[in-house]
Structure 1
Amino acid sequence: MGEEAAGEIQLHIAGVRGQHEVEDDHGKRAEEAENGGGNAVAPPRMSKRLRWWAVVVVNIVFVLGGQSVATLLGRIYYDQGGKSLWMQTVVQSCGVPLAIPLLLYFRPKSSSSSAAPAPRPRLAVIGAIYAGIGVLLAGDNLMYSYGLLYLPMSTYSIIGATQVSFNAIFSYFINKEKFRALVLNSVVLLTFSAALIGVSHKSEDTNSVIPKGKFPAGFALTLSASALFSLILSLTQLTFEEVLKSDALYTVLELQFWSNTAAACVSVAGLFVSGEWTAIAAEMDEYGKGKVAYAMTLAWTAVAWQLCTMGLMGLVATVSSLFTNVISTVGTPLAPVVAVIFLGDRVDGVKLLAMLIGVWGLLSYVYQHYLDDRAKSRKKAGKSDD
């Protein structure tokens, strides 16, 4: 009897151990599934994934909402009598103080753990990078200000869609992104869409106040601004990956704050050096909707651009500069609709065709990255099965 009881106890212990091993195996498979392999999914990991998607969605909303509102308010500023190009450049970066409360709230907490914190680059290196990106931002903002003054909002937005084409090129050389057939197709289509707008412009296609004879300059400056903006995004991604080696929220906010501070300083200096600051009082008096509307237009433009910038930085750090530019370009079909509703722009057959070609190019680009993601998942699943 004693031997039988001892045997039952040993069988019971072996069964418990086997159960624990099965549970441990399930846990490992769940972790592998989170990394791309296996079929099981662990609930805690899933919640982490959902949080990641929530961050991405919030940043997308910031980009699309901020971009559309800021562009619309910028066009309204010119239509109601605003003339200062440097003022429009200043408001694209002067909303940077809005990031200060977030910087204070999300600043890294001092930890008592023995683990050493990740080393940060030298202050001189970080400062040079932030200042360099800020100067590029200021120049890009100025060119966009010219483009928005010289072009109807719908035309301006469609030409701006070429930034995806430029970003594909910069990402290939700077961020080592693959340049596949569908991406090349997207580049060609988006470039053709912008060219179609360029050769078919009509001065009467909008109710906005557009200076006569300035369309070629507006076209060239907007195209150049799109290229520079794409370069900035690729350099930002490179900074997160190779210099800061972090995509934490505080790191994103820090880069946004200091680069926009540098851009604001350059823009304010340009406002004073150009002498446009002397005409601000008269511009406010002559503004079509009154002084309060003038101040509110500039204030909300600054807020909208800052939200857009926050979303852009967040997407670059969380996903990639390519994905960020795709999301930014998603607003291209929205802007002409907004311009038709609020500004009286007319969408003729050529412009509608250019929009459809641009959307086709965008979908081609998105589908290529969908295929790439599927291929990566299958590759990881195959390694896990081995």
Structure 2
Amino acid sequence: MTPPCVKNYMSEIEYVDQENPMNYSTMHLHTDQKSSSNKWYMPLLVVNYLCLFVGSVSSSLLSKYYFIHKGSSKWVSTWVQTLGFPLLMIPISLPYIFKLTKRTPFSDFTTKMWIMCISIGVMLGFNNLLFSWGNSYLPVSTSALLLSSQLIFNLIFSVIIVKQKITFSNLNCVILLTLSSILLALDSSNDRPRGVAQKDYLIGFLCTIGAGLMFALYLPVMERVYEKVQCYGMVMEMQIVMEAAATALATVGMAWEGGFSKMKEESQTVFDEGSKVYWVTVMGNVVTWQLCFMGTAGMVFLTCSLTGGICMTALLSMNVLGGVVVFRDNFGSFKAVSTLLCIWGFFSYVYGIYKFTNNNNNNNHSSTETIQIVRRRLDN
């Protein structure tokens, strides 16, 4: 069976250092943190998935809360998604401050890398705008399940861009999650919120699909970029540059729409929960979106773009339940079946990874025993 997506290899620099033990400092600076044999791999994986879980659910609910209580600026909603990028200096600086690494932040950047990160950041900014536009017209549960449609395109782009192997487990997962979106689309005509015109609902529907497609492209592009990166800190540094570019785009949009002057007026006279709640909502969005982006980047770096997309899609079922519990979204039979398909698809993929890893460990164990037998015979 071909692996769903498991990274277990040694960086070239580590290998060279093992041949030349005197060059310890270089190995210490560039240890391959995306290798599953690295001691930091599993803690990083768990922390990043928790960040993705908390950030994905919380940011979706807070974004919808902003629009439900008469917040109306799509550019404000877009702006706050990446405005908190300086917060990523925390995971970048802590290892350096506590002397867990000798690597200086941003020391490995090249001109080509700067240009690449800025370009991807602009694409991310447009993706955030489409998401905000769709989220302003759709219920959280509908928006969440619609975004799962990106997964089949994520698989296609992953095959083209990073040569992802198609296996039964990942193909089965993609099919189930895509069926989940189709069922939702069939039921969408009965799910339009009050006060939202049919035209606006359709715009929201299409914008959300567009956001899913752009994100499906974004993930494998990021995996391709990370192929030559072995340091988690550098991943966060690249994320800062991308989000800074996305924030610059949103800032231009805010200035063009007059969003900065309108924010104060909106908080005082438009937002029906009051000024304090308005700013708490905005700042909550800033923080939770950073958790989401940090978790996404970490998952792609430590696993692959398809696994990152599947984990995010599986979390959409939590967003659906959050929308039902917090905002009393309709939860009919179509959504129930869609959610079950979403959960089923995710666990089928997890089982595929478990099965492959278990077989791989058994094969490694057998290989080790064979090597030991050969060595004993040679010694004798």
* TM-score, normalising length: structure 1: 0.78
Post-superposition offset of 1:84: 0.5
| Equivalent in 246, 267, 287 of residue 250 of structure 2 | 267
Q: Contact 1:143/1:225 (CA < 8 Å) preserved in 2?
A: yes
Q: Contact 2:51/2:295 (CA < 8 Å) preserved in 1?
A: yes
Q: Distance in 2 between matches of 1:260 and 1:219?
A: 25
| Equivalent in 203, 211, 214 of residue 225 of structure 1 | 211
Q: Distance in 1 between matches of 2:308 and 2:253?
A: 29
Please say which of residues 49-58 and 263-272 is displaced more in the overlay.
Answer: 49-58
Q: Contact 1:193/1:355 (CA < 8 Å) preserved in 2?
A: yes
Q: What letter corresponds to residue 166 of structure 2 in structure 1?
A: F
| Equivalent in 157, 163, 181 of residue 194 of structure 1 | 181
Q: What letter corresponds to residue 76 of structure 1 in structure 2?
A: Y
Q: Relative to 1, partners in 2 of residues 1:338 and 1:282: Cα closer, same or farther, differing over 3 Å?
A: same
Post-superposition offset of 1:50: 6.3
Q: Secondary structure at the match of 2:146?
A: helix
| Equivalent in 17, 39, 54 of residue 65 of structure 1 | 54
| Equivalent in 173, 176, 192 of residue 160 of structure 2 | 173
Q: Distance in 1 between matches of 2:318 and 2:196?
A: 21
Query: Where in structure 1 are there 5+ consecutive unaligned residues?
Result: 1-46
Q: Distance in 1 between matches of 2:61 and 2:99?
A: 43
Deviations 1:326-385 (A, max 9, x none): 221221111121111110111001111121122222223333333333343344344434
Q: Contact 2:63/2:77 (CA < 8 Å) preserved in 1?
A: yes
Among all aligned residue pairs of Structure 1 and Structure 2, give the percentage whose two residues are the same amino acid. 27
Alignment of 1:371 onto 2:355: yes
Q: What letter corresponds to residue 369 of structure 1 in structure 2?
A: I
Post-superposition offset of 1:247: 3.1
Q: Relative to 1, partners in 2 of residues 1:370 and 1:224: Cα closer, same or farther, differing over 3 Å?
A: farther
Post-superposition offset of 1:281: 3.1
Please say which of residues 278-287 and 351-360 is displaced more in the overlay.
Answer: 278-287
**1:1-386 map, 5 Å:** 51-107=40-96, 123-203=110-190, 210-241=196-227, 245-284=228-267, 285-386=269-370
Post-superposition offset of 1:109: 10
Deviations 1:37-95 (A, max 9, x none): xxxxxxxxxx9766432221111110010111110000000011111001100000000
Post-superposition offset of 1:254: 0.4
Q: How many residues align?
A: 331
Q: Contact 1:171/1:177 (CA < 8 Å) preserved in 2?
A: yes
1:40 is aligned to none
Please say which of residues 49-58 and 147-156 is displaced more in the overlay.
Answer: 49-58
Post-superposition offset of 1:167: 1.9
Post-superposition offset of 1:204: 5.0
Q: Distance in 2 between matches of 1:257 and 1:374?
A: 36
Q: Relative to 1, partners in 2 of residues 1:127 and 1:189: Cα closer, same or farther, differing over 3 Å?
A: same
* TM-score, normalising length: structure 2: 0.79
Q: Distance in 2 between matches of 1:279 and 1:203?
A: 34
Deviations 1:255-309 (A, max 9, x none): 1111111110111112222344443333222111111111111111010000111
Q: Contact 1:148/1:156 (CA < 8 Å) preserved in 2?
A: yes
Query: Where in structure 2 are there 5+ consecutive unaligned residues?
Result: 1-35, 371-380
Q: What letter corresponds to residue 150 of structure 1 in structure 2?
A: Y
Q: Contact 2:313/2:342 (CA < 8 Å) preserved in 1?
A: no
Q: Relative to 1, partners in 2 of residues 1:107 and 1:269: Cα closer, same or farther, differing over 3 Å?
A: farther
Q: Relative to 1, partners in 2 of residues 1:89 and 1:51: Cα closer, same or farther, differing over 3 Å?
A: same
Q: Distance in 2 between matches of 1:177 and 1:372?
A: 16
Q: Relative to 1, partners in 2 of residues 1:385 and 1:162: Cα closer, same or farther, differing over 3 Å?
A: farther
Q: Contact 1:165/1:186 (CA < 8 Å) preserved in 2?
A: no
Q: Distance in 1 between matches of 2:198 and 2:239?
A: 37
Q: Relative to 1, partners in 2 of residues 1:254 and 1:275: Cα closer, same or farther, differing over 3 Å?
A: same
1:38 is aligned to none
Deviations 1:100-127 (A, max 9, x none): 244333349999x9xx99xx87722011
1:43 is aligned to none
Q: Distance in 1 between matches of 2:171 and 2:161?
A: 17
Please say which of residues 139-148 and 277-286 is displaced more in the overlay.
Answer: 277-286
